[in-house]
A = this chain, B = another copy of it.
Amino acid sequence: MTIPTATPPDILRCAYMDIVVTDLAKSREFYVDILGLVVTEESDTEIYLRSFEEFIHHNLVLRQGPIAAVAAMAFRVRSPEDVDLAEAYYKELGCRTERRTEGFVTGIGDSVRVEDPLGFPYEFFYATTHVERLAWRYDLQGPGALVRLDHFNQVTPDVGRGRKYLEDLGFRVTEDIQDSDGVTYAAWMRRKDTVHDTALTGGNGPRMHHIAFSTHEKHNIIYICDKLGALRKSDLIERGPGRHGVSNAFYLYLRDPDGHRIEIYTQDYYTGDPDNPVVTWDVHDNQRRDWWGNPVVPSWYTDASLVLDLDGNPQPVIERTEPREMAVTVGADGFSYTRKDDALAGFKLGTTL
């Protein structure tokens, strides 16, 4: 992968994900009835959803299809011209691109989709239909209201390579997880002023790890758990709620009816200065993934969603060859610590991990 000489597009933020679901009615129940995302519009085969503070057409497209997968991860750019820049940039990278001036989905105009160097289907657009920002519509907002799209998270075998690619594209690293041998297990990368617009998680990929929506406060996230309990759907809770070490945000991971992973997230910090300090976490630090040291469920490490190429076929999944975070931290061959120099692991690390 060479460094392109072309000017990269000026990316504003992660904007929406276009995902294929195998049972649209079931997915609607999950995203609309349970999570309360706002329906901008819908048809028999597609549902366009947004968060309460959003004014662009949507943050999530649910599309009926034969296989659960991700059709596009879309970023908004600063101007119409940045779509041209994006197209040129990826062409120079040797990537397959497809430009549609009418847009690929309802509510979005001139866009380019690419099969990026890591195998992900990225989209770049500026033009979009404005819709009502429902920030003040408390009458519509439930106790677990999702108010913003916060970030994407992608699984890729070689995090170092992916990080370089995204830095060239204009992303800045805010935090990462490494070991003392210099292996990077994950990296968080931002355009807007938060900890990330997307993150790279080391693993077999390209696969989509999760999409994250924000609430205003922590109790909103707790409510979502309480509601899932009331609906006897607590098995949709995969991990959490908890406090991340990385990002310092309060989090919850759910799995939708197809197994796509959704994070609910709140309260990371401002990162908009160019010299924003990068935080590097030791992979053996047991508080890096959960600040309270609660165990990460194995499925969270192993499961992820397929991503599609521009023809709609799943991208082949390539194995990670570097050490895996779960292997080096859990069980007989791994180790974690709460205090770096403690000889003793304690009941928590010994028993529950």
Contacts and interface: CB of A to CB of B under 8 A. Distances in A.
Interface string A274-287: 11110000000011
B248 A351 contact: no
Interface string A134-159: 01111111110101100000000000
Given A222-B243, A229-B245, A55 B277 contact: yes
A56 B223 CA distance: 26
A219 to B, nearest CB: 6
A192 interface: yes
Copies of the polypeptide in the assembly = 4
Interface stretch (A21-29, A291-299, A315-323): A291-299
B237 A348 contact: yes
A226 B339 CA distance: 15
A10 to B, nearest CB: 10
Contacts of A78: 274
Contacts of A145: 143
Contacts of A234: 286-287, 291-293, 338, 348
Interface in A151-175: none
A238 B351 CA distance: 11
Contacts of A12: 272-274
Contacts of A193: 192-193, 272
B228 A292 contact: yes
Contacts of A222: 218, 243, 250
Given A138-B223, A141-B143, A274-B78, A235 B148 contact: no
Interface in A332-353: 338-339, 346-349, 351-352
A1 B318 CA distance: 61
Contacts of A100: none
Contacts of A13: 270, 272-273
Contacts of A76: 273
Given A269-B135, A273-B12, A346-B235, A243 B217 contact: no
Q: Which 5 A-B pairs have the closest CB atoms?
A: A234-B293, A143-B143, A229-B291, A138-B226, A138-B230
